[in-house]
Amino acid sequence: MNHTEHLKCISLDGGLLCLDFINTVSGYTEDVPVNYITGEGEWLTWLKRVELVGEDFCGFQKDSFHSNRILSVRETLYKLFTSYVRGEVVQEKILSSFNREVGWMNKHLQFISEGKEITEKLVFNSQSADDYLLPIIRSAKELLISRDLKSVKECPNCGWLFLDKTKSNTRRWCNMKACGNKVKTQKYYRRVSGKLQ
Ligand SMILES: [Zn+2]
């Protein structure tokens, strides 16, 4: 399966836009994780998968996609949230990079009136590929200041991040099928083969 095919049906186990964005690699515990967002086409496919753009979207304006931008924001978010989950101090350079991104995002927030209501809206150029980082950064900022932050976990098998929404706070794997069962099967075979020796 090529990256585009993979992104079309990638699991959205993160449970939040910013975490699903972080999870656009095959697995962080692999020696060399496969990055799925390798080009503009892959970016568009993922944006459709998370419904940030509709299926009928005709395409980005020329030269508006910069993969280094996308990957650097993803790395910042990954390091920021994994530091928190692991109880580590967040590196100063990661925090300042995140602050820069939040500053950029804040410039795009506007209050608009919808009937009698006044709501905050993210206003950006929907033809610009890089600008779709804005809702992701907003999602990360909201997570950082929300109670949900305590429920962010790191899958012990693949390293993907996810929000544990269970009441008992006992979810262990990003996905039971993809990771939980795999680990259980491996443990079972190790036990059985151990007995046979
Ligand atoms: Zn996993």
Structural domain for 122, as ranges: 3-196
- With bands split at pLDDT 50, 70 and 90, how would you rate the model's confidence at 194? low
DSSP assignment string, 23-46: T-BS-TTSSSPPBS--SHHHHHHH
- Cβ within 8 Å of residue 141, ≥6 positions away: 102, 105
CA 23–ligand 1 middle distance (angstroms): 10
Q: Taking the CB of residue 65, how many other CB atoms lie within 10 A of it?
A: 18
pLDDT at residue 195 tops 60? no
Angle, alpha carbons 43-47-50 (nearest 5°): 140
Question: What SS3 state is found at 166?
Answer: coil
Report pLDDT digits (tens) over 35-88. Answer: 999 999 999 999 999 999 999 998 999 999 999 999 999 999 999 999 999 999
CA 10–ligand 1 middle distance (angstroms): 12
pTM exceeding 0.95: no
CA 29–ligand 1 middle distance (angstroms): 9
What is the CATH number for 66? 1.10.3300.10
- What total number of domains does the chain contain? 1
Report pLDDT digits (tens) over 103-146. Answer: 999 999 999 998 999 999 999 999 999 999 999 999 999 999 99
